[in-house]
Structure 1
Amino acid sequence: MKRVTSLKAPALLLVLTAALGGCAQQSLTGDAYSRSEVQRAQNVQYAVVESVRPVVIEGRTDGVVGGGAGAIVGGVAGSTIGGGRGSVITSVLGAVAGGIVGQRIEESTSRTQGQEITLRMDNGQLTSVVQEVENQNFFRAGDRVRVLGSGSTLRVTY
């Protein structure tokens, strides 16, 4: 029993560190730039918003934070059940179950509100862009906007 107690503090610290690291998700709004996008030239076009449709942007499923943290918590919890081989088996089962639950929690907590913006570019072309909504500020049909782009990445701003 003493060994389990001595593992609780480091395991808890690791889980909390992983959970806080998962909070640092990159923003998908039109006003947020990743470090790799800074000081890179972008093409600027102007357009009028034709229509806007609310969408849901799925959460992260590729991160290791939720699954890793869940596996640690499940493994530690499982190790307290049984003794000998039983403790090893419940640790493994707890880690697997915790990893699955943690990954699902990470996906649901990183899901965000988005908007599909259909634009009539000044050259007449129709273009659609999906981006995250910030502070419930949806674009509206008729808005005059800037469309910034580089390669296949576009962002809509005022």
Structure 2
Amino acid sequence: MFNKMTRLVMLGSLSLGLLSGCATSDSAAVYSKGQMRQAQTVQLGTVVSVNNVKMEGQNNELLTLGGAALGGLAGSNVGGGKGAIAGGIIGALAGGFGTQAAQRSMGSKNALEVTVKLDGSGRMVSIVQDADIPLSAGQRVRLLSGGGDDRVVPY
């Protein structure tokens, strides 16, 4: 159905998409290179509640494009002439949407919604982050803010 070169190109595109989808972290313990040597505001507080939540997986455009390409190729083998064109279009749409849905559901992971009461002002804030740092109600914590990435870490 597919020649060897087509299979290699599709496999390479999908592999690149999978690798680039693993390049980010939502962990409070992991800093990106751009966050290094940047001042952060530190506020002390107490954890009021910790709730387990699911963090939805991220869409990778390259992987979605690969799914659309595969769906288009598969759909174009339906019928002949105009039927093959229509099948290719429908297959591309189905492959792209199907790949996006799979990425969101399979890429979801456990996370924590941490609500903190800040010292002094008594203001309450809530942050969702990876569930890789154990936090519990009543625990003293630091709320680190800066550069658009806030995190809650033990004090």
Aligned position for 1:125: 123
2:36 to 23, 26, 38: 38
Question: d(CA) in 2 for partners of 1:125 and 1:139?
Answer: 19
SS of equivalent residue, structure 1 residue 131: strand
Match of 1:95 in 2: 92
After TM superposition, give the deviation of residue 153 of structure 1 in Å.
Answer: 3.7
Aligned-partner residue type, residue 8 of structure 2: A
Same amino acid, percent of matched pairs:
35
RMSD over aligned CA atoms reads 2.2
Structure 1, gaps ≥5 residues long: none
1:147–1:154 contact (8 Å) kept in structure 2: yes
* Pair 10,127 (structure 1): closer, same or farther in 2 beyond 3 Å: closer
Structure 2: distance between partners of 1:15 and 1:82: 27
Match of 1:76 among 73, 77, 82: 73
Of 56, 59, 65 in structure 2, the residue corresponding to residue 58 of structure 1 is 56
Residue by residue, what CA displacement relative to the aligned partner does 1:51-79 show, whole Å, maximum 9, x if unpaired?
A: 11112222225x41342121011122223
Structure 2 unaligned spans of 5+: none
The one-letter code matched in structure 2 to 1:104 is A
Count of residues paired in the alignment: 152
Alignment CA distance shift 1:34-1:52 (3 Å): same
Alignment pair present for 1:148 and 2:144:
yes
Q: Normalization by structure 2: what TM-score?
A: 0.83
